[in-house]
Amino acid sequence: MSKLKSIEELQKIRQAAKDNLDLRSTAESEDRIIIRVGMATCGIASGARTTMNAIVDELREQNITNVSVTQTGCMGYCAEEPLVEVVFKDKPSVIYGHVDAQRGREIVNEHIKNGRLLQNAIITKSFEKID
């Protein structure tokens, strides 16, 4: 590591380090968006892991920091795997089916970034949960 000669150099190294820590501050942020990837046996078998890694990668590429990607068990709709659920705070959740890496990146760019749903990929716009 070379010595920092100025405040600008400090800011530069801090920004680089910050990206790595975003994952932790995201959990605390108020406007957190959650992306859940169905990762039960069925999901994993149909490639959910590749999907999830693509989503994580795209989020970083686009520098989006208020999204936490998490995994969940079987969502029940195994025919449409891999399944991805997008939850905005105070909005009904949206579930996408047949999400491969390509579609995962589209979700990040269209739904998360531009607020446009991928109409052709939605399974149901929402579902009722019994608490």
Partner 1 sequence: MNNYRMHLLVCGGTGCTSSDSLKLVDELKESIEKHGISNEVEVVITGCFGFCEKGPILKVYPDDVFYVTVKPEDAEEIVEEHVIKGRQVERLLYVEPNLKVKLEGQKDLPFYKKQIRIALRNCGFINPEDINECLAADGYQALAKCLCEMSKEEVIETVIKSGLRGRGGGGFPTGLKWKYTSNNASDVKYIICNADEGDPGAFMDRSILEGDPHSVLEAMAIAGYAIGAEHGYIYIRAEYPLAIHRLEIAITQARELGLLGIDILGTGFNFDVELRYGAGAFVCGEETALIHSIEGARGEPSTKPPFPAQCGVWDKPTCVNNVETLANIPPIFLRGADWFRTIGTEKSPGTKVFALAGKVNNVGLVEVPMGTTLREVIYDIGGGIKNNKEFKAVQTGGPSGGCITKENLDIPIDYESLNSIGSMMGSGGMIVMDEDNCMVNIAKYYLEFTKEESCGKCTPCRVGNKRLLEILDKITQGNGTEQDLADLVELGEIIKDTSLCGLGQTAPNPVLSTLHYFYDEYLAHVREKKCPAAVCESLLSYIILPEKCVGCTACAKVCPVPCILGEVKKTHVIDQSKCIKCGACYNTCKFSAIAKR
- Per CB under 8 A, 129 contacts partner 1: no
Among 64-72, 78-86, 109-117, 119-127, the segment contacting partner 1 (CB under 8 A): 64-72
CB-wise, 36 or 103, nearer to partner 1? Answer: 36
3-state secondary structure (DSSP) of residue 119: helix
Q: In which order are the strands placed within the sheet that holds 84-87?
A: 67-72, 33-38, 84-87, 94-96
Options 53-61, 77-85, 94-102, 119-127: segment touching partner 1 (CB under 8 A)? 53-61
Binding mask 9-48 for partner 1 (x = CB under 8 A): xx--xx-xxxxxx-xx-xxx-------xx-xx--------
Q: Min. distance of Cβ 115 from partner 1 in angstroms? A: 21
Rounded to an integer, what distance in angstroms lies between the CA atom of residue 25 and that of residue 21? 7
DSSP, collapsed to helix, strand or coil, labels residue 34 as: strand
To partner 1, the closest distance from the beta carbon of 108 in angstroms equals: 13
Smallest distance, partner 1 to C-beta of residue 44, A: 8
Nearest-angstrom CA–CA distance, 120 and 70: 23
C-alpha separations of 92 from 28, 62, 68, 85, 98 in Å: 21, 24, 17, 10, 20
CB neighbourhood size of 16 (10 A): 9
**Contact positions vs partner 1 (CB under 8 A):** 1, 3-7, 9-10, 13-14, 16-21, 23-24, 26-28, 36-37, 39-40, 52-53, 56-57, 60, 68-73
